[in-house]
Amino acid sequence: MRKPKTARVNGIEIAYEEFGTGPLVVLVMGTGSPGRVWQAHQQPALTRAGYRVVTFDNRGIAPSSECPGGFTQADMVADTAALIEHLGGGPALIAGTSLGARITQELALARPDLVKAAVMIATYGRNTPLQQAISAGERALYDNGITLPPDYEAAITAHLNLSPHTLDDDRTAKDWLDIIGFSSQKVTAGVRAQLGLHDREAERLAAYRAITRPSMVIGFADDRTLPPRLAREVAEAIPRARYEEIERAGHFGYLERPDEVNRLLLEFFAEHA
């Protein structure tokens, strides 16, 4: 395994990895997951296409600073901006998923000078009651010292994040349960701090009307965690944003249907590189 580089930015340490040469692409991961998740599918495809690709661990995810005392979404946006400046390759092409997509659209709004074009995957501009309830439950498990049995945790994760079309095939479902169980991430104090963001996130759709950078939003038709209607709302708010929806994909659609996600990323970035 490659040892990540470390950048001292925005008052904290950010661990990142860099691949290839060419126009800079920065990939922003979602809640509780390390940046290396991108390296399964998106980073290799982008590197082969001639991009300089950077993946990184958001604050809260070791070996980046965990900041267990808490932080804001604005802190995470500022981290991403400072990392792009540290890399010296901006403005950059940016793609993020879930919380990473929210960071991406906020970055495009706050620092358009650093964003050449932005892709938001499985995104949202407002919280829903179900999203808040799931997040509150995840925080309560940590706060009460409750650890779910690994097999049950894998099953719940699969149910919330994969398409029913994937899970309807018993062999495929078993493979995914094994993958999720093997790669399960422990909820640390830093991850708990990330989970705490969800209760403080404001409705931001009106603000996104001021985004000027070329934008594409990708929704997943079977996303239970952040249903595609939330992604469509973001696309409708951003002037001239392109919206694409991928069928037979859940919240982990970038892992579940990587060829379709990669095709859209490569097509969009080629237009704006």
User: Does 223 qualify as catalytic in the annotation?
Assistant: yes
| 3-state DSSP assignment of residue 207 | helix
User: Does 86 qualify as catalytic in the annotation?
Assistant: no
Buried/exposed code over 223-241 (b: 16+ C-beta within 10 A; e: otherwise): bbbbbbebbbbbbebbeeb
Q: Which residue has the tokens 């704006």?
A: 272
- Whole-number Å distance between alpha carbons of 197 and 139: 11
End-to-end CA distance of the chain: 30
**DSSP letters along 107-166, please?**
HHHH-GGGEEEEEEES--SS--HHHHHHHHHHHHHHHTT----HHHHHHHHHHHHS-HHH
Task: Kindly name the residue from 33, 215, 222, 251 that is annotated as catalytic.
Answer: 251
- For the chain, helix (H) and strand (E) counts, in that order, are 11, 8
Nearest alpha-carbon partner for 104 in 122, 88, 85, 130: 122
In the numeric block, which tokens belong to residue 263?
């095709």
Q: Name the phi and psi angles at 120, rounded to 5.
A: -115, 120
Label residue 62 exposed, middle or buried (CB < 10 Å: 0-12, 13-18, 19+).
Answer: middle
Task: Kindly name the residue from 57, 79, 222, 223 that is annotated as catalytic.
Answer: 223
Task: Kindly name the residue from 33, 65, 98, 215 that is annotated as catalytic.
Answer: 98
CA 61 to chain centre: 13
Active site residues: 98, 223, 251
